[in-house]
Structure 1
């Protein structure tokens, strides 16, 4: 079987291919603090559709960034957590959250009205 060679111009392209987009970094930031059920993630990210959440979780699972654990019970229980490999993104995710908080602070100082519902604790 022939394999297609993939070429990246810079390393961040490979990173963004895995964690890029509107929702994946948000999902991953929530999973840094522990395993979550799909319904918990939906509550934490109210603007994401169920279909999009499921799709993004499947892609992250496919890339070995998150683990999916199914409990054999009724009703079925499924939890998602960062995989060991996904944990290697924790530093980057913490930095993204911190930068965003500083950016919001700056915008507020400039007079913009911005509400941050949950200031992240990077020491979590």
Structure 2
């Protein structure tokens, strides 16, 4: 019988929590403060549908990484922000950004 590594191994746990295609980018967009749904959709690539974004946000909320705040007003207003554990992901985003820049530079140099 195979051992379940979720909740035991930090790498498997992180990978499962961040499974959505755009999850890291959404966390990045929320790293500077709350963002409304429509603004998130505008900042994401064109192929991101309303349903896909809703599904991804719901998953991140279920994982505890973001908080959904619905204001009781007309028209409805919904904002998303990082939760306490989501805020801790900012340091990971900083390291990923540095690595991503290094990789882009390496890639462009290796194609010459």
Instruction: Give the TM-score of the pair, scaled to structure 2.
Output: 0.85
Segments of 5+ residues of structure 2 without an aligned counterpart are none
Deviations 1:34-91 (A, max 9, x none): 1111111111112322111100100111111100011111101000000112111111
Q: Which has the higher helix share?
A: 2
Q: Which residue of 1 aligns with 2:4?
A: 7
Q: How much does 1:20 deviate?
A: 2.6
Moved more, 6-15 or 56-65: 6-15
SS of residue in 2 equivalent to 1:53:
helix
Q: State the number of aligned residues.
A: 107
Equivalent residue, structure 2, for 1:67: 67
Matched, 1:58 2:58: yes
Distance (whole Å) between structure 1 residues aligned to residue 72 and residue 24 of structure 2: 29
- The corresponding residue for 2:106 is 106
2:33 pairs with 1:34:
yes
Aligned equivalents of 2:10, 2:111: Cα separation in 1: 37
Matched, 1:44 2:40: no
CA separation in 2, counterparts of 1:62 and 1:84?
Answer: 14
Distance (Å, rounded) in 1 between the aligned partners of 2:20 and 2:106: 24
| TM-score between both structures, scaled by the size of structure 1 | 0.78
Measured after TM superposition, the shift of residue 111 of structure 1 is: 4.1
Displacement of 1:109? 2.6
